[in-house]
C-alpha cells in the first residue's frame, strides 16, 4: 500500500471498500496482543493463539459497532481482555496456576513509579514482582499490567476496562498498595529467615 493509513482509516476501508484492509490491522496488532496475553496469563501457545484468533474474529464481526470516538487499539485490547478473562476464569476454576511473564521494561516501569525508597531494591526483581502480582486481586492485576507492562495511559485503560477514569486511578492506587504490601511481606519474611 502506497500511503500509511491509521487504524480508524483501516476500519473505515474494511467496512466500506475491501475487507482485506482488516488484515493490516491484524498484522499490526498480532504481536502486541500476543505479548499482552502472555503478560496477563500463563497460557500455552495454543491457548494464546486461540484467544487471538477468537478476538480478531469477534472484532471483525463487530466492526460495524466500533465507536470511532475511541481508539481502535483500546477497542481491540478490550476484546482480547474479555477473551483472556473468560479463559482465566475457566482455567482458575480448574485450579491452574496463572503467573505473569515479566520483562525488564516492566520492572523498570514499576520501580520508577513505586516508592522504592521504602522498599528494598533487591525485592524489585522479576521473581518478587511476579509473586506479588500473582497474589493480588485480578482487578488490581489488570490495571498494573495495562499501566506498567502495556504502558497504556489512564484514558486507554478506562476504555479497555470500561470504567471511569477516576475509578482507574483508585484501582491503580489500591493495586500499588497491595503490591507494596506483598513485596514488604517478602522483605519481612526474608529478614526473619536470615536471623
Q: How many domains does the chain have?
A: 2
Domain carrying residue 31? 7-93
Reported as a pLDDT band with limits 50, 70 and 90, residue 125 is: low
Q: Is the pTM of this model over 0.85?
A: no
Q: Please state, in angstroms and rounded to a whole number, the distance separating the CA atoms of residues 184 and 158.
A: 29
Q: How confident is the model at residue 62, as a pLDDT?
A: 93
Residues 61 and 133 in one domain: no
Residues 17 and 71 in one domain: yes
160-171 in b/e burial notation, b at 16+ Cβ within 10 A?
A: bbeeeeeebeeb
Last residue of a domain, one of 53, 70, 93: 93
Reported as a pLDDT band with limits 50, 70 and 90, residue 194 is: very low
Amino acid at each position: 500500500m502506497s500511503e500509511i493509513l491509521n487504524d480508524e482509516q483501516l476500519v473505515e476501508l474494511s467496512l466500506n471498500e475491501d475487507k482485506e484492509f482488516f488484515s493490516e490491522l491484524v498484522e499490526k496488532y498480532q504481536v502486541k496482543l500476543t505479548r499482552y496475553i502472555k503478560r496477563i496469563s500463563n497460557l500455552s501457545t495454543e491457548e494464546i493463539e486461540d484467544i487471538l484468533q477468537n478476538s480478531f474474529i469477534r472484532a471483525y464481526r463487530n466492526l460495524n459497532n466500533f465507536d470511532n470516538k475511541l481508539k481502535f487499539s483500546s477497542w481491540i485490547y478490550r476484546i482480547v481482555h474479555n477473551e483472556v478473562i473468560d479463559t482465566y476464569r475457566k482455567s482458575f476454576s480448574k485450579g491452574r496456576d496463572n503467573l505473569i511473564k515479566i520483562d525488564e521494561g516492566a520492572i523498570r516501569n514499576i520501580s520508577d513509579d513505586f516508592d522504592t525508597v521504602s522498599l528494598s531494591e533487591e525485592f524489585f526483581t522479576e521473581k518478587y514482582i511476579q509473586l506479588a502480582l500473582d497474589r493480588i486481586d485480578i482487578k488490581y492485576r489488570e490495571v498494573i499490567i495495562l499501566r506498567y507492562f502495556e504502558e497504556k495511559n489512564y484514558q486507554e485503560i478506562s476504555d479497555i476496562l470500561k470504567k471511569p477514569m477516576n475509578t482507574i486511578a483508585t484501582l491503580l492506587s489500591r493495586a500499588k498498595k497491595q503490591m507494596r504490601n506483598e513485596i514488604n511481606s517478602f522483605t519481612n519474611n526474608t529478614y526473619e529467615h536470615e536471623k
